[in-house]
Amino acid sequence: MTDAAYNFAYLDEQTKRMIRRAILKGVAIPGYQVPFASREMPMPYGWGTGGVQVTAACLTPADTLKVIDQGADDTTNAVSIRRFFQRTAGVAATERTAEASVIQTRHRIPETPLTEGQILVYQVPIPEPLRFLEPRETETRRMHALEDYGLMHVKLYEDIARNGAISTAYAYPVKVEGRYVMDPSPVPKFDNPKLESPAIQLFGAGREQRIYAIPPYTRVVSLDFEDHPFEASKADHACDLCGAEESYLDEVITDDAGGRIFVCSDTDFCAGRRAGGHRGALAAEDVA
Amino acid sequence: MRTEALTGGFADAPVEAAQVFRATLEALARPGRIATVGGAEAPAPVSGAAAVLLLTLCDHETPLFLAPGHDGPEVRDWVSFHTGAPLVGREEATFALGHWPALAPLGAYRIGTPDYPDRSVSLIVEMEALAARGARLTGPGIETEAFLSLPETEAFRRNNARFPLGWDCFFTCGQSLAALPRSTRVEEA
């Protein structure tokens, strides 16, 4: 039930208009970071305030919302954001990727392929892919304006020179529609191929006050070299609960004696497979 | 102020504006798709779709240019009462409303700067008809190709050629809404 003490979806209308205008400019210029006047939210920076503001600007009462944190629907961050919108917007909530019309995510893209009509909202900590190479905003802005991305290639090259391979494993930089280099938020590079999607993808960075977007069917290329092509890697293992070999895995420590299991990071995907009768190596027989 | 300026707004602004924004987002993210929007009514000649776009996106932070044909005391009063948007010339506008010939010269509008390409105008183009045929569209948001009855192709081709600078367009006709971002490549069909 909506808490009548709040406006629909918490934010006031003027704030939503400002965010909506930023989202539209972001969609019109794929990969470009649009500055916006991020508001104080009733949760601290770092807990998804950017994503929450984008979600609030997008929600309608007819929406079904799913919120994930590292692939899981049942972690503190996901549960509190989901309850926040159930209370302030009165929207339906789900854990099923296929049933959701708006999905807010922290650091994962669901395994189940997204479809037209769905919106994926990313929580972004540092939107600027060049920030760790060049701390000055004035300089990184100029580098984007001039399409001067040599520094990023030097960084990836130094990875290869030191480690023999590109060691960047998450927040792996991409080039959007051949123009802007973009940080896909700290998703594992395993998820990078899923950035080309029929769904609308919106990125919100609250503390850094930036919104950006990837429209559907937009070309998204992970940066690489001809002799060191991009590789979407994952743990070389199958899920111990559902047996999936194609999903991204979390390594979970199970005891003090070095015991560990690998399980799907996407809890909905894993539960769906187990409900469908799939069993991994360590799945108890009675797990339904 | 005439009292008719006070009517025609959203009955339930938070919900209706949210629904119009979602339709607008889908239209801009999928160029060539035509959405149906409604819920508000502005004085003639402003279409229903243009009226809800103004209510959803404009406020005191967004200078608005009313092109000849749309600029008149009734429309000015309505826009001022419902949105509070300052009415300005082409050069300062973040939104502009009018028929395609009346919006010209297009060179007068803001197209953003290399550092801030988002600081550009959004044109709300009132159309006599809006249909998924005519100019061929490709680019972000379009799986293979799409078609839209644009008023011309040359201006849109030139606008795309200077990407990431440029303006973005919404097309309105009655309750129908379509959009064309600067990222879309436009060809004669």
A179 contact B CB<8A: yes
Is B188 a domain residue? Answer: no
Instruction: Name the token pair of A216.
Output: 């559907």
Q: What is the pLDDT of residues A60-92, one digit of tens each?
A: 999 999 999 999 999 999 999 999 999 999 999
- Residues A190, A53, single domain; the answer is yes
CA distance A20 to B170: 15
Helix (H) / strand (E) containing A199? none
| Statement: residue A11 has pLDDT above 80 | yes
- The residue-averaged pLDDT of B123-152 equals 97
CB spacing of B17 vs A16 below 8 angstroms: yes
ipTM: 0.97
Bigger pLDDT: B1 vs B14: B14
At A2, the pLDDT band (50, 70, 90 cuts) reads: low
User: Does A102 fall in a domain?
Assistant: yes
Q: What is the CATH number of the domain that holds A201?
A: 3.40.50.11310
Residue A63 burial by Cβ neighbours in a 10 Å radius (0-12, 13-18, 19+): buried
Regarding whether A164 and A31 lie in a shared domain, the answer is yes
Assess contact for B126 and B70: CB atoms under 8 A: yes
> Of A200, A222, A244, which marks where a domain is finished?
A222
Q: Do B152 and B130 meet the contact criterion of CB atoms below 8 Å apart?
A: no
> What six digits make up the tokens of A172?
């792996």
Average pLDDT over residues B110-117: 98
Distance CA B144, CA A39 (A): 38
**How long is chain B?**
189
Between CA B110 and CA B94 the distance in angstroms is 8
Instruction: Report d(CA B127, CA B171) in Å as an integer.
Output: 7
B47 in a structural domain = yes
Q: Has residue A5 been placed in a domain?
A: no
Q: Do B164 and A16 touch (CB under 8 A)?
A: no
CB nearest A14 (choices: B26, B59, B122): B59
B140 to A198: CB separation less than 8 angstroms, yes or no: no
A209 and A249 inside one domain: no
- With bands split at pLDDT 50, 70 and 90, how would you rate the model's confidence at B169? very high
Number of domains in chain A: 2
Residue A149 lies in a domain: yes
On whether residue A229 sits in a domain, the answer given is no
CB-based contact B18 A200, cutoff 8 Å: no
Judged by CB atoms closer than 8 Å, whether chains meet at B118 and A60 is answered as: no
**Domain-located, residue B189:** no
Q: What is the DSSP letter of A143?
A: H
Tell whether B82 is covered by a domain: yes
Residues 6+ apart with CB under 8 A from A119: A58, A101, A102, A103, A199, A200, A201, A202, B25
B163 in contact with A, Cβ within 8 Å: yes
For A6, the token pair is 């709040």
A4 domain-assigned: no
> pLDDT digits over B31-63, tens only?
999 999 999 999 999 999 999 999 999 999 999
Q: How confident is the model at residue A288 (pLDDT cuts 50, 70, 90)?
A: very low
pLDDT at B122: 98
* Cα nearest neighbour of A90 on chain B: B15
Touching B: A residues 196-215, CB under 8 Å: 198, 200, 213-215
Q: Is the pLDDT of residue B3 over 90?
A: no
Q: Are residues A154 and A261 in the same domain?
A: no
Does residue B164 have a cis bond before it (omega within 30 degrees)?
yes
CATH of the domain at B137: 3.40.50.11310
Interface size, chain A vs chain B, as Cβ–Cβ contacts under 8 Å = 115
Sequence-ordered strand ranges (E) for A13-53: 34-35
Active site residues of A: 31, 239, 242, 264, 270
pLDDT, average across residues B129-150: 97
Comparison of pLDDT for A64 and A234, the residue scoring more: A64
Confidence at residue A3, expressed as pLDDT on a 0 to 100 scale: 57
Task: For B24, name the nearest residue in chain A, comparing CA atoms only.
Answer: A24
Q: Quote the number of domains for chain B.
A: 1
Q: Is the dihedral of CA A30, A33, A38, A41 positive or negative?
A: positive
Tell me if A284 is assigned to some domain.
no
Tell me which of A222, A249, A269 is where a domain ends: A222
Give the span between the Cα atoms of B143 and B140, in whole angstroms.
8
Identify whether A133 is part of a domain. Answer: yes
- Quick one: what percent of chain B has pLDDT higher than 90? 97
| A4 lies within 8 A of chain B by CB | no
By DSSP bridging, strand B95-99 and strand B185-187 are unpaired
Of the pLDDT bands very low, low, confident and very high (cuts 50, 70, 90), residue A37 is very high
Does the pLDDT value for residue A285 go beyond 70? no
| A250 in the same domain as A198 | no
The structure's pTM equals: 0.96
- C-alpha–C-alpha distance, residues A85 and A58, integer Å: 12
Asked if A238 and A215 sit in the same domain, the reply is: no
Angle, vertex CA A275, rays to CA A272 and CA A278, nearest 5: 90
CB B38 within 8 A of CB B62: no
Specify whether A136 is located in the same domain as A252.
Answer: no
CA distance A201 to chain B (A): 10
Find all residues with CB under 8 Å of A2, minimum gap 6, and list them.
A8, A87, A88, A89, A90
| Residue A283 confidence (pLDDT) | 78
Instruction: Give the domain range for residue A92.
Output: 13-222
Domain that holds residue B14: 3-182
Identify the residue among A2, A3, A6, A29 best suited for mutation to test binding to B, counting B beta carbons within 10 A and taking the highest.
Answer: A29
Chain A residues with CB under 8 Å of B62 CB are 21
Residue A220 touches partner B, C-beta closer than 8 Å: no
Across the range B126-140, mean pLDDT stands at: 97
Q: What is the mean pLDDT of chain A?
A: 94
- Note whether residue B132 is domain-resident: yes
